[in-house]
Amino acid sequence: MPSITTEQLEHFHEQGYLVVEGLLDPETVIDPVIREYEGVLDRLATELHAAGTIGSTYQDLPFQERLTRVYADSGKVHAQYFDFSLPQGNVQPETPFWAGPAVFNTLVNEALLDAVESIVGPEIYSNPVQHVRLKPPERLTPKNADTGLPQLGLTPWHQDNGVVLPEADEGEILTVWFSLTEASERHGCLQVLPGSHRRGLLHHCRRPVGLTVVENMLPTQTPVSLPMQAGDVLFLTQLTCHSSLSNVSDEVRWSFDLRYQPIGKPTGRPAFPGFVARSRANPDSELRDPAGWERLWRDTRDRMARKQEKGPFNRWHVEDAVCA
């Protein structure tokens, strides 16, 4: 049943965000995901070592240190290898992704869906705009040769509605963000601009650090940092301006960035596969097969690679005058 209180729901609608502490059980929900990704990292390290890209698999190191060493030695952040979505272009038959059972079980976790139901209602669709983000300490992250910036660093101010097509503007796409590890300010936790969702969709520009709200259009509210522990969950409207700080800690900041919406509404990225996560009206329509979910993404990859589909996936253009 819906689990968010009336007071929490009021805060969400008024401020555009809500943190629910301890919503996910680290032992039964997060730990299985961590163990699953240990296997993913092991395969990546083995492949890179076999190719001569790295000099060691670092198999004796704990996950976080191993990930950082593999990235540093290879000179590349291999984010796509771990992600449970596909890139927005140049999808190839062997483009890597990870859609494992522990990840899927997290997407359909009952406690999580109960909270989502409180906001979007009982007919819940898992929107395919979703990512895992493993951010090593920035000082140890490989740099982009063109910009000198970390290949995976801070996230600039943006709205999640800005990364989907206009077809989704009238829907209600809920962002669900949580960290699998501690996310303090030093780790690069998220920041929000309270009430910024009431400004509507703002123009975004492509900058070296990523897609960001045009600087002179950014709301003037004082940013609020949201340090969180593993198991805490952040809910954002699709129009809430948010960003992340730099990871200046000695540890990896590891988070899930999910989306949910009412069934039957456009997802804003129709080339990618979503699924019915919960339906009170038609429970038989719910997807509960992890292998079936993985197959949806594999079939999508095969189709996009075969047809060389390139989008579009969002609405912004580098030649927009406001971005000059």
For residues 183 and 246, what is the distance between their CA atoms, to the nearest angstrom?
11
Whether the pLDDT of residue 85 is over 70: the answer is yes
1 pLDDT tier (thresholds 50, 70, 90)? low
Backbone angles phi, psi at 292, to 5 degrees: -65, -40
59: left (phi over 0), alpha (psi -120 to 50) or beta: alpha
Q: What's the one-letter identity of residue 194?
A: P
Whether the pLDDT of residue 248 is over 80: the answer is yes
Whether the pLDDT of residue 256 is over 80: the answer is yes
Whether the pLDDT of residue 161 is over 60: the answer is yes
- Domains, the chain, in order of start with CATH, read 6-310 (2.60.120.620)
Q: What is the pTM of this model?
A: 0.96
Would you call the peptide bond into 312 cis, given omega within 30 degrees of 0 as the criterion? yes
- Residue position matching structure tokens 């690679």: 305
For residues 23 and 111, what is the distance between their CA atoms, to the nearest angstrom?
7
Q: What's the one-letter identity of residue 93?
A: P
Please state, for a pLDDT cut of 70, what percent of the chain lies above it.
98
Q: Are strands 253-262 and 275-279 parallel, antiparallel or unpaired?
A: unpaired
Whether the pLDDT of residue 99 is over 70: the answer is yes
What's the confidence (pLDDT) of residue 319? 77
What's the confidence (pLDDT) of residue 313? 76
317 pLDDT tier (thresholds 50, 70, 90)? confident
Backbone angles phi, psi at 226, to 5 degrees: -125, 75
What's the confidence (pLDDT) of residue 234? 98
